Amino acid sequence: MNRRNRWWWALPLCLVAGGCARDSNGPTLPTSSGAQGNSAPTEHTRRANAAIAEQLRLEDPTDFENAERGLVAREKAVVVRDEQGRTVWDTRQYDFETGAAPDSVHPSLWRQARLNNRHGLFEVVPGVYQVRGYDLANMTIIVGDTGWIVVDPLTTVETAEAALALTRAHLGDAPIKAVILTHSHIDHFGGMAAVGRAEDVASGRVRIIAPKGFAEEATSENVLAGVAMGRRASLMYGFGLERSPRGHVGSGLGKEPARGSFQILAPTDVIDRTPQEIEIDGVDFVFQYAPESEAPAELTFYLPGKKTFCGAEIVSRNMHNLYTLRGAKVRDALRWSGYIDEALQRFDDMEVVFASHHWPTWGREAVVDYLKKQRDGYKFIHDQTLRLANTGKTPREIAEELEFPPALAESFPNRGYYGTLRHNAKAVYQHYFGWYDGNAANLDPLPPEQEARKFVEFMGGRDAVLEKARGAYDEGEYRFTATVLDKVVFANPDDEEARALLARTYDQLAYQSESGPWRDVYLSAALELREGPIGSTIDMKAAANLLREMPVHRFFDAISARIDARAAEGRDMTVNFIFTDLDRSFVLRLENSVLNYREAPPDPDAEVTVALTRDLWLRLATGQAGLRDLVFSEEIDIDGSRLSLLTFFGLLEAPEANFPIVTP
């Protein structure tokens, strides 16, 4: 069967968000201490990392003390498996992260990786507990009068169940009265089925509190661009890398996204303003509505009775992403900074801050210092990028020039373990000015392969370029070496010598990267040069529970983005879809090689009308049913030309989930 006829795979429903759900059916990642073919760190890399170690206060014990503070209980190792016995989470793969940083890891990233290894149940303040190190994010448990309020139930049902089991083993059992979802990224809601059942929510026994727009954003953020985003995420999170001193050591924000099953339930209570005061099981909450910050839908909250602020993910113990390398809409640095300032002003007696990642901050003075530097970090990037842009500087020039002042640069929570100053500055530029930097030479350049062949020819041919690249590599000029060798590889992707040297170059750039995602991108690029593409993150079948909550119209948005314009040229067609269980109908109209749709009564002149249930549609979308089921199933009523229906779906081009990135 050709790709075009496998039409159900044309619905790109990747679940990668601030965190990322990995393919639960995917291969077990290598965890040995081997180097996976990576080159050794060069003398240039060793010197660069040693210089960083001299500049920073890496031995400052404050963060290590705070990461251990309030420990209630800890398992020796956290190993979580799903019902089929597949590993969902395993802290043992990071046992190598002890002692001083090896030469192959940026010493500041190594410090962050060791801090993120602290797992267990911790008391934040009396009545507020966190389970950390059981997933990329934290689960928080707030003790109410008659039960628990759970905040952010992790990425997967399996890790959420393990976190609750640890909590119950040491705090006793209690019913869950409410679930607070701070924002619309899957590492903060995917484990919802472990803490609340649909019938409990429907009966009112469990409340689900979330920011306005949560359901739409949580189910739809990555639908249209999901395949490409999932492929890129495989590099950003280092899914194919060994967990080793020359491989993946952590994501900065945490260790890595968990992989397993996930689910979503619709909110019962919506936060849409600041302040919004709600009493939940005897506990007073003051909510802050913070949309278009770290997530499109986000909230924070304050516990006035405990003088404790939950910063969700607008604050963390690292610089976050204004632009995430997997690809997403650029985030608004000015609004983000503004929400932190608003919290400082509104909750002016707070003494403790905890968040959805990392460890808390205690003490009024420390809290104010932490929040001010987080606030000022994002606003500095925003303001200084615009200042330099208004002098004519381009994104690359701004990224090269911009440096934090010492007060921000020396603050570990502002270090670029996840986002970086360089790519966040480019994000601010993109937010205001888009992709074009104003230089006419960059208005309409040749596509990469054509440009590469001409570039290599102008440089004197492949042998001359490679010789010069070896010299640049030997001098430690890895950024430029990568630029040059990328041209050679794109000019001739079968050039094994050039690929090998480029892979070694990426190794060195990775070893010097303070950002976990930058390290993973470089190492994954090197791995793909050596072994080929490592795959994507998409698992359509695992998405079914999440997709049930997605608005129906998003499916048609996804279909529209898969029309093969050339194949559709000259075709005019109308198709009706009726969802019998929803009592809703949609009219799809193909003309001018564009598919438009509207929710409306069926068009009597349509070539074909399809009546089916949403459940069958979901099975089709997730690959559990195929084209034959659509045409011949008794669950579907087709009125009109079945041939027209087959023709329509034949126009949908299935995306390539494993497309090359570092080669043409």
Residue-by-residue DSSP string for 605-623: T-SEEEEE-HHHHHHHHTT
Three-state secondary structure along 543-583?
Answer: HHHHHCCCCHHHHHHHHHCCECHHHHCCCCEEEEEEECCCC
| Dihedral of alpha carbons 638, 644, 648, 654, sign | positive
User: What tokens does 583 get?
Assistant: 């009592």
In this prediction, residue 3 carries a pLDDT of 30
* Residue type at 303 in one-letter notation: L
Cβ pair 223, 562 in contact under 8 A: no
We find that the CATH architecture of domain 43-430 is 4-Layer Sandwich (3.60)
Give the model's confidence band at 527: pLDDT under 50 very low, under 70 low, under 90 confident, else very high: very high
Which CATH fold would you assign to the domain 551-650? Answer: Nonspecific Lipid-transfer Protein; Chain A (3.30.1050)
Whether 374 contacts 317, CB under 8 Å: no
pTM here is 0.92
Contacts 24+ apart (CB under 8 A), 364-369: 367/309, 368/344
Distance, in Å, from the CA atom of 594 to the CA atom of 590, rounded to the nearest integer, reads: 6
pLDDT of 25 higher than 50: no
pLDDT score, position 13: 35
pLDDT at position 4:
30
What was the pLDDT predicted at 548?
A: 76
pLDDT above 60 for 617: yes
Residues 51, 514: Cα–Cα separation, whole Å: 13
> What is the CB neighbour count within 10 angstroms for residue 67?
21
Q: Please count the other Cβ atoms lying within 10 Å of the Cβ belonging to residue 649.
A: 21
**Is 165 exposed, middle or buried (CB count within 10 Å of its CB: 0-12, 13-18, 19+)?**
middle
Whether 620 has a pLDDT exceeding 90, the answer reads no
Domain with CATH 3.30.1050.10 in the chain: 551-650
The residue-averaged pLDDT of 414-433 equals 98
Percent of the chain at pLDDT > 90 equals 79
Mean pLDDT of the 525-550 span:
76
Q: Do 550 and 219 contact (CB within 8 A), yes or no?
A: yes
Name the β-bridge partners of 87: 81
Q: Where in the chain is the domain with CATH 3.60.15.30?
A: 43-430
Strand partners, 248: 243
pLDDT confidence band for 577 (50 / 70 / 90)? very high
User: 227 falls in which pLDDT band (50, 70, 90)?
Assistant: confident
Dist CA 173 CA 73 (whole Å): 16
pLDDT digits (tens, 9 = 90+) for 365-417: 999 999 999 999 999 999 999 999 999 999 999 999 999 999 999 999 999 99
H-helix or E-strand containing 386?
Answer: helix 364-389
Return the pLDDT at 559. Answer: 87
With a cut of 70, say whether residue 361 has pLDDT above it: yes
Q: pLDDT tens digits, residue range 34-92?
A: 456 899 999 999 999 999 999 999 999 999 999 999 999 999 999 999 999 999 999 99
Instruction: Considering only CA atoms, give the Rg of the chain.
Output: 26
Is the pLDDT reported for residue 30 higher than 50? no
Q: Which residue has the higher pLDDT, 11 or 361?
A: 361
Q: What angle do CA 294, 423, 22 make, to 5 degrees?
A: 60
Compute the C-alpha angle 124/379/430, nearest 5°. Answer: 120
Place of tokens 């770290």: 294
Q: What mean pLDDT comes out for the span 423-442?
A: 96
| Residue 44, CA distances (Å) to 134, 184, 195, 244, 467 in order | 37, 42, 50, 21, 19
Place of tokens 């956290």: 78
CB 135 within 8 A of CB 155: yes
**Which pair of tokens denotes residue 411?**
């603050």
* pLDDT tier for residue 208 given thresholds of 50, 70 and 90: very high
